[in-house]
Amino acid sequence: MPPSRMAGNGRETVLATVIDGKQVAASVIDTVKAATAALDKQSGVQAGLAVIIVGDDPASHAYVGSKSKMAKECGFKSVQHTLPVETTQEDLAALVASLNADDTIHGILVQLPLPKHLNSEPIIQSILPEKDVDGLHVVNAGKLAVGDLETGLVSCTPAGAMVFVRRTHGEDLSGLNAVVVGRSNLFGKPMAQLLLNANATVTIAHSRTKDLPSVCRSADILVAAVGRPEMVKADWVKRGATVIDVGINRIAAPEKGEGKTRLVGDVAFAEAAEVADVITPVPGGVGPMTIAMLMANTVIAAHRAAGQTPPKF
């Protein structure tokens, strides 16, 4: 879509191209559906996704509901295990072990956070790496670190953000500077690895970085994942940069009425959009890609299990 123009301060301001995450996610899902149907026809293998949720956290149930619904829509065998809040570590571990042993299940997802009495790390690490569609197993993190994208599975949110980068800049990022603000194991580190594997020159910045604005200004591709509302201002953004905003923050919105809130990213969107060439919005940017890439990982895992070449996303 072309950059839109809007009148401001009596002059025309050229705004960045805004990436429609829902539209890109829908195209990923179309690929997943086609690949799922083809695998079933060629090999008689139906991709299978098992989702485990413990307790009654409403936000977690909403997430899991949408994941299970999307899995059915993609043509997967979709299994949901809803466990009571008092489930023990041993019972949860036994369920994961039984799903590991089930050849009809290609992806296993444990919805986080777990109730406080459960230790999530040993549970996540007990999932077979080839069924770890969340990409959180240390084996998958290690494969990404050594550049093995052929046999590992990549964490869904950075994988989704990388789809935007590739659609904007192509497969080869040689000569481009990328800055990732945030160093979490969930997003920052895997995102940096993906950019590095695509030949970008990568800087990982974070709260301890000296003169963070000037580091950000060096970026042709700026990825913000710090969890601080609208921290990245327009003067942090290099003119013509691609800005990927991974933050989801809820802030007070008195203009909507008393007690109302709204979602914003880690980037001050309106001002940054006047400087950037391409930018993702919040909501509607990276968010929709996370579930889409979970489905992509599941169909990739099913292809590998059947000895078939998985689709590319």
Catalytic residues: 67, 111, 134
Task: Look up tokens 């444990």; give the residue.
Answer: 110
Token pair for residue 124?
A: 């996540």
Distance CA 152, CA 154 (A): 7
Distance CA 15, CA 204 (A): 27
Backbone angles phi, psi at 9, to 5 degrees: 55, 35
In sign, the C-alpha dihedral spanning 162, 168, 170, 174 is: negative
Token pair for residue 87?
A: 């489930």
Nearest to 245 by CA among 288, 286, 204, 207: 286
3-state secondary structure 209-278: CCCHHHHHHCCCEEEECCCCCCCECHHHCCCCCEEEECCCEEEECHHHCCCCEEEECCECHHHHCCCCCE
3-state secondary structure 127-173: CCHHHCCCCCCHHHHHHHHCCCCCCCCCCHHHHHHHHHHHHHHCCCC
Contact of 289 with 246, CB cutoff 8 Å: no
Question: What distance, in Å, lies between the first and last C-alpha atoms of the chain?
Answer: 21
Contact of 275 with 239, CB cutoff 8 Å: yes
